[in-house]
Structure 1
Amino acid sequence: MAGCCGCCGPLRPRYKRLVDSIFPADPQEGLVKSNMEKLTFYALSSPEKLDRIGEYLAQRQSRDVSRRKVGFVFIAMEALDQLLLACHAHSINLFVESFLKMVQDLLECEEPELQELATASFVKFANIEEDTPSYHRRYDFFVSKFSSMAHSGNDNQEARARIRNAGLQGLQGVVRKTVSDDLQVNIWEQTHMDKIVPSLLFNMQDTRGRSHPDIESPREEDHPSFVAENCFRDLVCRASFGNIKAVLRPVLMHLDNHRLWVPNDFAVKCFKVVMFSVQAQYGYVVVQMLMSHLDEHSKSQPRMKASIVDVLAETVLIAAGGSIGPSVLEVFNTLLRHIRVSVDNKTTDKDRLSDEKKFQESCINTIGEFANNLPDYQKIEIMMFVMGKVNTSTDDKPSDSKDVMLQTMLLKTLLTVATKYKTVLMSNAFTLPFLEPLMRMSISSDPGIRLLVQEILHTLLDRHNNLPKLKTVKIMADISQLSLTVEKPPRQDVMFMKKNGSQFYWHLYENMQQLSNKLENFAALYITLALLGLEMGADEILVELFRLSLGMQEMACNSTSLPSKHRCCIHAVVAAYYNLMSQLTAIPALCQHITQVIEIREKEARHLLPDEAFTENKQWTSPEGPKPEWLFDQDIISEALHSSGLDTTKLGTPFMNKLSIQLGSELGPLQRSNGVDGVTGSVSDINSISIDLESAASTPGMTRRRFSTEITVETLKKVLADSSQDREEEKAKQAEILHMFREGPFEEIVAKSEARATRFHSKVDEILKMLDEQAESVENQDIDRDITNIDEPIPIYEIKYPDLFVY
């Protein structure tokens, strides 16, 4: 009876009759739309039948697939899609389970068209928002299957592209279906991301067959690399703060496993996609991940590390529009640490050394790009931070080559950051914690380091883009051809130079007499002098610069330790500087004198001009010093400046080396009279002083010495008569000291104070030493006297007691 009922159509359940009615006799006719509408209405009217409808459709599809009836399979999937779009009942979850089973069966088929059909249906399903999502539903199979499809190696290029596109779209569908609800399967788990992300990157990397980017092609968007890039953008865009690392970690692993860092074109492309897709406030996480990855590869090949740093630089450029991290100094500290490690690496391989140098340059460029995206106040902090990493000891001991190389790299980093900074006020650019170590490095024993320091000064001093116009040391008849920009310095800069100008002057003076100087060093010192005059050329500062130049000229004339080539370069620098400043000040008498001296040198001493002095392999071997007419006259310059209203009282003060002032043996009578000694009288010999260690009043056998001069009326009259003269001398001495502190250069005052303190401590040491010697001699005498008198006791009536015990 049951078999008979099965053969009769009217006795079958209605949902089966409705499902069978949507299939035509010929599959080419397609879905029977009228019957499909009936089935849809029945499913909406009786949602409890949905699970049975889905189960029956799955049975029919399984039978059609096994019988190779592909047309009926397409009709069944179309019917499923329409039912999914129309039905949103609570019982749809059971229907979805049947739908996913049908999709899974099709994906397991080997026919590409069936896999594409299943993928298309799944993508439509992924775009449907369910009212009651199923939290127990798993998508592990679909992630694995779509990932394998994305790696398809079909021999047919067209079929391979279609299968890969289907796999990529399926992966995107899985992400869209699961990412919106945290209670569903966590698609951000490592097991899923390790399959999804490499599949996307694999297709992004394979650009074979993709049309030229400059040629518009309607099929461009159908290429797997294009589809994969869009899917990757969508994945990164949907990642939250807690999930962005789950996406980046497989990216870094894929680049490592497939050795895609060198060359780094694809790595740069990947992280550009990431930075343009990730939410702006999470951009710094990408930077931190790259920094951590660089730390993990600290012992890898330098070319690989350089590629990672280059990718980091590109990432920082894009991150400028958003947040690049709260711990800026941590990023700089990491890059500086890698520079230090790279410098410390011991190797004799030339290729390895070249790669290490490229890596160091990459780190420096990245720091510069990073600093370029920071506000100015943070750039100053970065410069101070980098300067703090530099070993600023300037002792005379020969530096290790690694120390010199490390200092060079750090100063190059500082120079790169300085180029990104726009100086407004000198007091802001040259803070005291930054200026002092920088000045100490300016007198380093290595000429390359000194040159870098001067270049840093050039970058920070140049506010009007005058630096490119001063690159060549030359004497021009008309400096207006240079188109220099000169403005009156602000009051803050004038005050800054009054307070800290001596630092610049003295270190420039010291730089000029370095025996290891090269032509580049002298040219850099000229540029520094010129920029100080252009940027901060106030009246008092101008006089100090002229005084400094005269001191340099005096040094070149009198120094016996400097080579002749160095002395010629110093004379040439002074001549070029005076030629520049005389035309800027436009003082007729000064211009006439400078021009006259230069013309005489043109005829008689061309080796003292830049054209000859700054030429390689040219030496001046004349044993005689320069003639007076070849030199710039201090009196004429002073008179010319004074005629224009400048105070030239300081111009006559000689510019002395700080070290020579500190040596007491080299102090002349002039310095002593100006108070360098610290004592009004002459320096006497400490050893000639006799000190009485015992008190006469309290020692037996000794009487108190009386004053030889008695106080009488005549003595008092003499004191009153002589006091007026003493007061005048005291006032004159105080006025002289006051004048020295008011008008004297700061560096000389400091040097004199240090010299006075040095001599004072040396005298104190001599006195204490002498006291110890006399005390020992007195003690020895007492012991000898006690030994000699031990057998002859003194009668008590002959003992003389001290006055303190007698009354």
Structure 2
Amino acid sequence: MNGVSGVMSRQVLPACGSLCFFCPAMRTRSRQPVKRYKKLISDIFPRSQEEEPNDRKIGKLCDYAAKNPFRIPKITKSLEEKCYKELRNENFRSAKVVMCIYKKLVVSCKEHMPLFANSLLSVLQTLLDQSRENDMLIVGCESLFDFVNNQKDGTYMFHLDGFIPKLCQLAQQIGEEESAINLRTVGLKALSAMVWFMGEYSHVSAEFDNIVSVVLENYPRPRKETQDSNQNREDAENPAFWSRACLHNMAKLGKEATTTRRVLESLFRYFDDDNLWPTENGIAVPILKDMQYTMDASGENAHLLLSTLVKHLDHKNVLKQPEMQLDIVQVVTSLAQTTKIHHSIALVSAITDIMRHLRKSIHYTHDDAKMGAELIKWNRLFQESVDECLVELSNKVGDAGPILDVMAVMLENITSIQVIARTTIAAVYRASQIIASMPNLSYQNKAFPEALFHQLLPAMVHPDHETRVGAHRIFSVVLVPSSVSPQKLHFLES
């Protein structure tokens, strides 16, 4: 009996042998404290499928997480497990509720993002793999958009790159039914955040060419009656709206010249592949004007766009396509007409390259007898287009001085080969005519630009008579700009 009573006494009394009301050993199971975050999570989920998630209760959980960050990993582990379970059971409504909680966490617990980012990224990857469930794909893209826009550094840069192929695939959905439009819209919306992220943290994804393709595929095509890219603005439920948002973020992506060129070259290659350069019915002009406007408005150097585009004339995709070269020059001219007047290194570089193309086109006229009628016609059109382009670019410098320096460089060490010397002089002479009416701010206190004078002297005593005459004409125009006739100007007669 004593043995039995001993056993009974240990069941009633704790091991310490004293009876205390507050002793944990005396509490029944029903009186054990339930962890608060579990209770908060369970309260959020509706008791029936018809009920909407309670925003107030979601906010309460997120407030708790913000005040108790050490609990965040356990909270998100519970959420992650709940999401996977509901997806397996095809209870997609509850899975959406989980994502509502994550969305609120991203905003209210931004400072503690390292504690739950990997959990959220894992869930997002799972959602974007639900290829047969459009609702889940849409929720995944929307949640990814929120996550990217709330990043404070580049910690998850390479994790995010992994989502790009799937987003591009969604943005390429074919069809005009509502489901396809919705998927294209959310795919491009998430991509717009990705491009913004690249710009913020100086990173261009290896998938960038793929992004450019899907963005431009969804860019609104200009109507026949207008090519004004600012008309007929789309709403946020339309793929074209987010395509334009992506393009604007691309325009602001390049904080360095090399990055800007990388972005622009991807665009140019896309135009090359489908021959989208013609100003009549191509999309190059409205797209590049849209970019140019954004670059100007955001303080970026839009002149770099002009410079990079002029250099594209020498790209292997373009070199053997004379019609495309002509179209590109016309696009440059159109962009130059709407860019800001500002002396920049990029703009002077564009002028240097255009003068070089002008010299080449003049050179081709010397071989007219050896060329067919079509080629002669093309060269005449090309020369006129390059000339018009040079006029527009020069006007945007606002100062004759930098162009006089370009002329000096072109004349440097002028060759003794007759045809090359003549075409070089002709191109420089044409440039001198163009800038005759421009203010000369750089050399206003000098009788003549010294660098140009030193390069003109050898040309003035060149063995070729026409080269000598041309050099003297250049000297005359620069010395007395008012001597140039305001009528249509011509090149040196051959």
Same fold (TM over 0.5): yes
Q: Which residue of 2 aligns with 1:65?
A: 87
Structure 1 residue 338 and structure 2 residue 361: aligned? no
Q: Which residue of 2 aligns with 1:377?
A: 401
Q: Which residue of 1 aligns with 2:190?
A: 170
Deviations 1:536-584 (A, max 9, x none): xxxxxxxxxxxxxxxxxxxxxxxxxxxxxxxxxxxxxxxxxxxxxxxxx
Deviation at 1:240, TM superposition (A): 0.9
Match of 2:433 among 412, 415, 421: 415
Amino acid at match of 2:283: F
Deviations 1:357-403 (A, max 9, x none): 2222222222222222241334545566667799999xxxxx97x98
- Asked if 1 retains the 8 angstrom alpha-carbon contact of 2:222 and 2:286, the reply is no
- Asked if 2 retains the 8 angstrom alpha-carbon contact of 1:119 and 1:167, the reply is yes
Deviation at 1:30, TM superposition (A): 0.6
Structure 1 residue 364 and structure 2 residue 380: aligned? no
- Asked if 2 retains the 8 angstrom alpha-carbon contact of 1:255 and 1:261, the reply is yes
Q: Please, what TM-score do these two structures have when normalized by structure 2?
A: 0.71
Q: Write the mapping of 1:745-784 to structure 2, written as runs, cut at 5 A.
A: none
Structure 1 residue 31 and structure 2 residue 53: aligned? yes
Q: Which residue of 1 aligns with 2:173?
A: 152
Distance 1:235 1:226, change over 3 A: same
Report percent identity of matched pairs: 19
- Asked if 2 retains the 8 angstrom alpha-carbon contact of 1:392 and 1:440, the reply is no
Distance 1:196 1:327, change over 3 A: closer
Structure 1 residue 257 and structure 2 residue 273: aligned? yes
Q: Which residue of 2 aligns with 1:498?
A: none
Deviation at 1:10, TM superposition (A): 8.6
Q: Which residue of 2 aligns with 1:304?
A: 324
Q: Write the mapping of 1:363-442 to structure 2, written as runs, cut at 5 A.
A: 363-372=386-395, 373-381=397-405, 411-418=429-436, 420=438
Equivalent-residue separation in structure 1 for 2:403 and 2:197 (angstroms): 46
Q: Which residue of 2 aligns with 1:244?
A: 260
Equivalent-residue separation in structure 1 for 2:218 and 2:52 (angstroms): 35
Deviations 1:161-196 (A, max 9, x none): 32222112101222444654x4xxx6324x032233
Q: Which residue of 2 aligns with 1:40?
A: 62
Amino acid at match of 1:311: V
Does the residue aligned with 1:116 lie in a helix, a strand or coil? helix
- Asked if 2 retains the 8 angstrom alpha-carbon contact of 1:236 and 1:274, the reply is yes
Equivalent-residue separation in structure 2 for 1:50 and 1:349 (angstroms): 76
Equivalent-residue separation in structure 1 for 2:355 and 2:227 (angstroms): 41
Q: Which residue of 2 aligns with 1:105?
A: 126
Equivalent-residue separation in structure 1 for 2:160 and 2:43 (angstroms): 32
Amino acid at match of 1:415: Q
Distance 1:41 1:291, change over 3 A: closer
Q: Please, what TM-score do these two structures have when normalized by structure 1?
A: 0.46
- Asked if 1 retains the 8 angstrom alpha-carbon contact of 2:354 and 2:390, the reply is yes
Distance 1:426 1:217, change over 3 A: closer
Structure 2: runs of 5 or more not aligned: 1-29
Deviations 1:60-119 (A, max 9, x none): 2233333333322222221222233222454x4242222222222222223333322222
Q: Which residue of 2 aligns with 1:232?
A: 247
Does the residue aligned with 2:384 lie in a helix, a strand or coil? helix
Deviations 1:380-436 (A, max 9, x none): 45566667799999xxxxx97x98777766654543343556899996699977998
Q: Which residue of 2 aligns with 1:577?
A: none
Amino acid at match of 1:418: A
Equivalent-residue separation in structure 1 for 2:157 and 2:355 (angstroms): 50
Equivalent-residue separation in structure 1 for 2:340 and 2:234 (angstroms): 35
Q: Which residue of 2 aligns with 1:567?
A: none
Q: Which residue of 2 aligns with 1:805?
A: none
Q: Which residue of 1 aligns with 2:21?
A: none
Structure 1 residue 270 and structure 2 residue 290: aligned? no
How many residues end up aligned between the 2 structures? 442
Q: Which residue of 1 aligns with 2:333?
A: 313
Equivalent-residue separation in structure 2 for 1:348 and 1:246 (angstroms): 37
- Asked if 2 retains the 8 angstrom alpha-carbon contact of 1:426 and 1:461, the reply is no
- Asked if 2 retains the 8 angstrom alpha-carbon contact of 1:106 and 1:118, the reply is yes
- Asked if 1 retains the 8 angstrom alpha-carbon contact of 2:404 and 2:449, the reply is yes
Q: Which residue of 2 aligns with 1:351?
A: 374
Deviation at 1:325, TM superposition (A): 0.6
Deviation at 1:138, TM superposition (A): 1.1
Q: Which residue of 2 aligns with 1:80?
A: 102
Q: Which residue of 2 aligns with 1:201?
A: 216
Equivalent-residue separation in structure 2 for 1:379 and 1:44 (angstroms): 61
Equivalent-residue separation in structure 2 for 1:9 and 1:75 (angstroms): 30
Equivalent-residue separation in structure 2 for 1:65 and 1:257 (angstroms): 42
Equivalent-residue separation in structure 2 for 1:343 and 1:356 (angstroms): 9
Q: In terms of mean alpha carbon deviation, does 65-74 or 18-27 score higher?
A: 65-74
Deviations 1:136-160 (A, max 9, x none): 861122222222222221x234333
Does the residue aligned with 1:68 lie in a helix, a strand or coil? coil
Deviations 1:428-484 (A, max 9, x none): 69997799899999x9789xx9xx99x979x94359xx967xx9xxxxxxxxxxxxx
Amino acid at match of 1:270: I
Q: Which residue of 2 aligns with 1:290?
A: 309
- Asked if 2 retains the 8 angstrom alpha-carbon contact of 1:15 and 1:53, the reply is yes
Q: Which residue of 2 aligns with 1:19?
A: 41
Structure 1 residue 117 and structure 2 residue 139: aligned? yes
Equivalent-residue separation in structure 1 for 2:423 and 2:45 (angstroms): 82
Amino acid at match of 1:194: D
- Asked if 2 retains the 8 angstrom alpha-carbon contact of 1:367 and 1:417, the reply is no
- Asked if 1 retains the 8 angstrom alpha-carbon contact of 2:128 and 2:136, the reply is yes
Does the residue aligned with 1:243 lie in a helix, a strand or coil? helix
Aligned-pair RMSD on alpha carbons? 4.8
Distance 1:336 1:178, change over 3 A: closer
